[in-house]
């Protein structure tokens, strides 16, 4: 586990030195939310409160896609990624360390600023905590699934479009259960089955994503 925490510390230090790139991704999220809020606030306030959860989920997805390239790109360019794969340490464990760091610098800021973002899009009180929980569970899934697609395209010079095509279908179940829980809460229905399904998806990808990502990296670097 020493290499696990050492890699996490290294990636956190790199993320801090390159914090401007992550700030740009997060500012993009803020801009999207602000545009939707300004475009609908002058009309019926119920429209904004109805589509607010969808805006936050879509913004989180776009911000994740923008920041995914930073997950492996620098390590691929300087040869560190090859050293990770050929080292004696389990590749999946080291990939997991990188995935956790990616969520810490992309998903966690969204969670911490959720009260402000929810206020911007007028999230109703009755779905406030449900939306918070779905984003808390769902944002790591975005990073886990995204890493698999990125590992398959890391060797391509322009893999951004292909990456999006690969990932969108895999993100659909997460969106369906996450936003479904919010919709049920808004209607006063039992939303716990959706939360449990979303938690199950999280456990599934938490277990499989490091292994699948490590395998995809080995295939891409052959």
CA-based torsion, 106, 108, 110, 116: positive or negative: negative
Q: Which tokens hold the place of 95? A: 């990939």
Give the span between the Cα atoms of 138 and 179, in whole angstroms.
Answer: 10
Q: Which tokens hold the place of 185? A: 């809460």
116 burial level (CB within 10 Å; 0-12, 13-18, 19+): exposed
Q: Is the pLDDT of residue 178 over 90?
A: yes
Query: How many degrees, rounded to 5, is the angle at CA 102 between CA 97 and CA 108?
Result: 115
Going from N- to C-terminal start, the domains of the chain cover 2-220
Question: Three-state DSSP class for 62?
Answer: helix
The predicted structure's pLDDT at residue 76: 78
Q: Dump pLDDT digits (tens) for 57-78.
A: 988 888 888 778 778 777 777 7
Q: Dump pLDDT digits (tens) for 87-114.
A: 888 888 989 999 999 899 888 888 998 8
Q: Which tokens hold the place of 97? A: 């360390």
Are 33 and 121 contacting, i.e. CB atoms less than 8 angstroms apart?
yes
Q: Of 84, 194, 101, which Cα lies nearest the Cα of 147?
A: 101
Q: Is the pLDDT of residue 138 over 90?
A: yes
Give the span between the Cα atoms of 32 and 128, in whole angstroms.
Answer: 20
Lowest mean pLDDT segment, chosen from 51-55, 160-164, 191-195: 160-164
Are 162 and 156 contacting, i.e. CB atoms less than 8 angstroms apart?
yes
11 burial level (CB within 10 Å; 0-12, 13-18, 19+): buried
Q: Is the pLDDT of residue 10 over 80?
A: yes
Alpha carbon distances (Å) from 30 to 37, 47, 58, 118: 10, 19, 12, 11
The predicted structure's pLDDT at residue 43: 60
Q: Is the pLDDT of residue 158 over 60?
A: no
């Amino acid at each position: 586990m020493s290499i696990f925490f050492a890699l996490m510390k290294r990636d956190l230090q790199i993320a801090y030195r390159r914090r401007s790139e992550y700030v740009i991704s997060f500012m993009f999220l803020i801009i999207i939310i602000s545009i939707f809020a300004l475009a609908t606030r002058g009309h019926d306030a119920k429209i904004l409160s109805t589509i607010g959860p969808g805006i936050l989920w879509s913004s989180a997805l776009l911000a994740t896609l923008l920041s995914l390239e930073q997950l492996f790109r620098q390590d691929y360019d300087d040869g560190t990624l090859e050293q990770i794969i050929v080292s004696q340490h389990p590749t999946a464990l080291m990939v997991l360390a990188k995935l956790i760091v990616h969520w810490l610098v992309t998903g966690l800021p969204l969670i911490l600023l959720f009260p402000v973002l929810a206020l911007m899009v007028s999230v109703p009180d009755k779905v406030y905590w449900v939306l918070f929980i779905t984003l808390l569970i769902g944002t790591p899934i975005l990073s886990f699934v995204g890493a698999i697609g990125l590992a398959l395209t890391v060797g391509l010079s322009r893999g951004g479009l292909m990456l999006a095509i690969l990932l969108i279908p895999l993100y659909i179940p997460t969106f369906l259960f996450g936003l479904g829980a919010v919709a049920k809460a808004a209607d006063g229905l039992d939303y716990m089955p959706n939360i449990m399904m979303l938690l199950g998806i999280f456990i599934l990808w938490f277990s499989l994503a490091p292994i699948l990502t490590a395998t995809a990296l080995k295939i891409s670097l052959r």
